Amino acid sequence: MNGLSHVDDDGRPQMVDVGGKAITRRSAVATARLRLPAHVAATLRSNGYATAKGPVFQTAIIAGTLGAKRTHELIPLCHPLGLDGCSIEIALGDDDCVGIRCSVSVEHRTGVEMEALTGASVAALTIYDMCKALSHEIVIEDIRLVAKHGGRRDVGTPS
- Alpha-carbon dihedral angle through residues 65, 69, 74, 76, given to the nearest 10 degrees: 150
CB atoms within 10 A of CB 95: 11
Residue 155 is classified by DSSP as: B
In contact, 114 and 75? CB cutoff 8 Å: yes
In contact, 113 and 79? CB cutoff 8 Å: no
Q: Which residues are catalytic?
A: 129
CA atoms 63, 23, 153, 6: torsion sign: negative
In total, the chain counts a number of residues equal to 159
| 79 three-class SS | coil
* H or E element, residue 88: strand 85-92
